[in-house]
Amino acid sequence: MRSKIVAGNWKMNKNLAETESLLTELSAKLPDTSAEVMVAPTYINLMEAVRHLESSAIEVIAQNMHFAQNGAYTGEISADMLLNIGVETVIIGHSERRAYFGETDAILAKKVKTALSKSMRSIFCFGEELEDRKADTHFNVVEKQLKNALFSLNANDWSKIVLAYEPVWAIGTGETASPEQAQEMHAFVRKTIAEAYNDDIAANVSILYGGSVKPANAKEIFSKPDVDGGLIGGAALAADDFVAIIKAI
Ligand code: PGA
């Protein structure tokens, strides 16, 4: 059975005091939910966030990590470092990492393999650019992203993979894919996985939608049968909005 997930990607926002205050507010307002709730603060505040949420149901996750075990990679963070402070889930392949930091499918494939080798869960992001959608190549683009980074995994590995469909044109733009567009892509992704692996794996992988999810549109998006939750950027930075989105699932 796949799980419902609402994950907040804070990106490069919130200093230490702001992180503590948002976490305190979130913990106090967290509604009863069957969904897994996650937050991804910046690296520098991860350890404090883990401490802060020790007795909370909210999981602290990382926004990125390097594929190497350790070594001469100035500015980078390894899987072991994350595990060492109690972080067991990592976002991999966010479109901002792909676009601004040159992360290719080949690099992302290595990151996912490293996460798996450490039994970490990956939230693997993918999605087309506006030009792809206009050219009607969005299904091909997504299929290629999945194939290149994930389809060399073993069937067993998929229990540690969560997918996040994030059309680039909908991230931070206020433009949301319509619930129908999200459902159409999520169903396509499940079909593609079923063809590459089997129906069981396709049915059990959680597929989140991300891109301008807000309290006002969350319920409709989450009501779609192949949408298992959301990866939330901007609206995760305010406790009331994030809580409203959790309530919508
Ligand atoms: P957004 O970001 O909700 O601000 O569009 C989503 C994301 O980048 O994960």
The residue whose CA has the least distance to atom 2 of ligand 1 is: 233
What is the reported pLDDT for 122? 98
pLDDT digits (tens, 9 = 90+) for 14-36: 999 999 999 999 999 999 999 99
Q: Is the pLDDT of residue 200 over 90?
A: yes
Q: Is the pLDDT of residue 58 over 90?
A: yes
pLDDT digits (tens, 9 = 90+) for 158-186: 999 999 999 999 888 888 889 999 999 99
Residue 66 · residue 76 · CB < 8 Å: yes
Task: Give the dihedral sign, CA 93/99/105/108.
Answer: negative
| Residue recorded with tokens 């409709």 | 220
Taking the centre of ligand 1 as the mean of its atom positions, its distance from the CA of residue 137, in whole angstroms, is: 22
Q: Is the pLDDT of residue 90 over 90?
A: yes
What is the reported pLDDT for 174? 80
| Residue recorded with tokens 């063809």 | 195
Taking the centre of ligand 1 as the mean of its atom positions, its distance from the CA of residue 229, in whole angstroms, is: 13
What is the reported pLDDT for 121? 98
Which atom, in ligand 1's list, is nearest to the CA of 164? Answer: 9
What is the reported pLDDT for 225? 97
| Catalytic residue, candidates 96, 128, 143, 166 | 166
Contacts of 188 (CB under 8 A, 6+ apart): 139, 142, 143
Q: What are phi and psi of 230, to 5 degrees?
A: -145, 150
